[in-house]
Chain A
Amino acid sequence: MSHAHATTVHGAPPLKMGLPIPNSKLGMWLFLGTEIMFFTAFIGTYIVLRLGSPDWPHDPNVTHIRIWAGGLNTFVLLASSYLVVVAHESMVARNIPRAKLYLLGTFTLACLFLGIKSYEYYGKWDHDILPGHIAEDDNQAMTKTLGDFEKTLNRQYARYVPDSEAARLADKRAAIDAKMKDASPEVQKQVEALKALDKEYLALRTQHQELKLQLVPLSEKLEELKTNPEFAGLLGGLEAHHPIKYGNIFASTYFLMTGFHAIHVIVGMIMFAIPLWVISLDHRWTDYVENCGLYWHFVDLVWIFLFPLVYII
């Protein structure tokens, strides 16, 4: 091959084999080809499931999806894409300090993206919008509400009977009287209020087991208990759950798509951290920066479609 080059007529283009791009860039494009199929499988499945579910949850008060967070994250990713493309331009122009500065900007924006995403995930976690946790009919909503009621009581009983002594609520009930023998009158009064609340819970649970409880009366009863001064502070933030039809498949697809996207963002951050870490960065890293940029633009492309599909439609 070197002989062929040596004998090339002056001015004529040298003989090339394969595509006129660096092997690393070809490799990145082939990888991105697989990535297209990877994400299209998730996004396509989401669209198909969505089409097949007419009552798919889309009220922001139910799904806790905030368009401002999605819009802001879109802007952050677009800005990071811009910075990485100008970082590559700087590498081509052999202006390494400027390229490093742009790469640092990209890395920082990627951190910001994950920060906003974490805030969104926290909202889902806080409202228990998680796969397999969502009640999809009235019966499931009542079961879940009473489950929370039970946990709240268990937590309140634990103030007097620690979990280390009795983990289960039934065991705490059995042990609490013995604990109260030497307690002050004030504490005994608090425990009496807790027992009265427990009695209310047991009555609701019995009604539920006998299939005599309805969701609306349960919600009203909870509100009544919360406004009762005797139980003030005992119920904390206990709220009645309401059914969200298709809520679990919504949560599964939401976390699948955005979760894998976030993993790709983290991988991109690692890719950008490497040239930032290298002290002797020079023009030989130009291909590397270009390939990182291609990967990062793809991550941006995925989000460009996730934003309208998840946040708007």
Chain B
Amino acid sequence: MTDGHATDIHHDSHAPHHVWYFGVFGALCVLTALSVMFDVLDIRGKHTIGGINLLLAVLVLSVATAKALFVMTYFMHLKFEGRWKFLLLSPTVILALGLPLALLPDVGVHYYTTDVPQNSAHVTEHSHTPELETTSESPH
């Protein structure tokens, strides 16, 4: 790579973006305060999924997504990058979503009872009782 080439790349990469970064920071702080407010005011709807209040989850995760978009767009300069960003990030995002989606049917929304294995009769019967075993008396 020649010096001239390198200079061109650097010129593109370091071109000033004229973003009011402090304004972006202020917006992120306001959104954070909004999330805390949802919790403090205990904004909860009637519907739940797996014990999670749906309204609260949608509200705070929407705010989190908005914050993430602010950071990616302005702080990470993705707004000013070429289309390579889609090419580079799409496969990882698709693969990242694969694991939770694969686990969801069995672990997340299973039809069977939710009695955890630790609470099964077998473990309860054989659970450790102080001084039943000699090692239990060793000082810590």
Q: A14-B5, A19-B84, A301-B72 are in contact. Are A143 and B103 (CB under 8 A)?
A: no
Interface set, chain B 1-33, CB cutoff 8 A to A: 1-2, 4-5, 8-10, 12-14, 16, 21-22, 24-25, 28-29, 32
Q: Which residues on the A side are within 8 Å of B96 (C-beta)?
A: 36-37, 40-41, 44
CA A89 to CA B14, docked complex, whole Å? 9
The stretch that binds B, out of A52-60, A181-189, A226-234, A251-259, is: A52-60
- Chain B residue with Cβ nearest A79: B25
Q: Which residues on the B side are within 8 Å of A41 (C-beta)?
A: 96, 99
Q: Do B109 and A92 have beta carbons less than 8 Å apart?
A: no
Q: Do A52 and B128 have beta carbons less than 8 Å apart?
A: no
A-B pairs with CB below 8 Å: how many?
227
Q: Which of B36, B38, B107, B130 contacts A150 (CB 8 A)?
A: B130
Q: Which residues on the B side are within 8 Å of A304 (C-beta)?
A: 64, 67-68, 71
- Chain B residue with Cβ nearest A284: B10
User: At the interface, yes or no: A9 with Cβ under 8 Å from chain B?
Assistant: no
CA A245 to CA B118, docked complex, whole Å? 9
- Chain B residue with Cβ nearest A74: B32
User: At the interface, yes or no: B110 with Cβ under 8 Å from chain A?
Assistant: yes
Q: Number of contacting residues on A, CB 8 A?
A: 86
Q: Which of B28, B74, B108 contacts A52 (CB 8 A)?
A: B108
User: At the interface, yes or no: A146 with Cβ under 8 Å from chain B?
Assistant: yes
Q: Do A48 and B8 have beta carbons less than 8 Å apart?
A: no
Q: A47-B100, A48-B100 are in contact. Are A20 and B130 (CB under 8 A)?
A: no
A residues in contact (CB < 8 Å) with B: 1-2, 5, 13-14, 16, 19-22, 25, 29-30, 33-34, 36-37, 40-41, 44-45, 47-56, 58, 67, 71, 74-75, 78-79, 81-82, 85-86, 89, 92, 136-137, 139-140, 143, 146-147, 149-151, 154-155, 158, 163, 167-170, 205, 208-209, 245-246, 248-249, 286-287, 290, 293-294, 297-298, 300-301, 304-305, 307-309, 311-313
B residues in contact (CB < 8 Å) with A: 1-2, 4-5, 8-10, 12-14, 16, 21-22, 24-25, 28-29, 32, 35-36, 38-40, 49-53, 56-57, 60-61, 63-64, 67-68, 71-72, 74-76, 81-82, 84-85, 88-89, 91-93, 95-97, 99-100, 103-104, 107-110, 114, 116, 118-119, 124, 127-132, 134, 136-140
